[in-house]
Amino acid sequence: MRLAAEGWRPFGARELGAIDRPTLMIIATGDRLFPEHARISEDLGASEKTMISFIGPDHVMVYDRRMAARMAHFATASIGYHLQGREDYRELFPKDFVSMFAYLAWEGPPEE
């Protein structure tokens, strides 16, 4: 799981393409420190990759308790589903769930 993802510059498309594990990226659309989120997401080799964007906040949204709690929700859901095999957690971070909140945007593989 990546928060405020930076890494395209030091790794590039080839190295990111080698990542084959399910990946969740959480970003802030107002983050001017690491604007290469889309490039990282596009170049990841993982077939299961999800990027959840918090619309508006900047790089330091992690210091806002409400934002931190929302990020923890997605981290718990993704880790529970992918690493612990909790099938019931899958419904806590797909596009349909994220689209219920005006401050979030979802990008990921097509829903099954």
Enumerate domains of the chain plus CATH numbers. Answer: 2-107 (3.40.50.1820)
Contacts of residue 78, defined as CB under 8 A and 6 or more positions apart, other chains included, come to 1, 22, 24, 50, 89, 93
- CA 79 and chain centroid, separation: 12
Residue 1, pLDDT > 90, answer no
Percentage of the chain with pLDDT > 90?
44
Q: Which residue has the higher pLDDT, 96 or 37?
A: 96
Lowest mean pLDDT segment, chosen from 26-40, 69-83, 86-100: 26-40
The pTM of this model reads: 0.83
**pLDDT recorded at residue 97:** 92
In sequence order, the β-bridge partners of residue 23 are: 49
Q: Report the amino acid identity of residue 76.
A: T
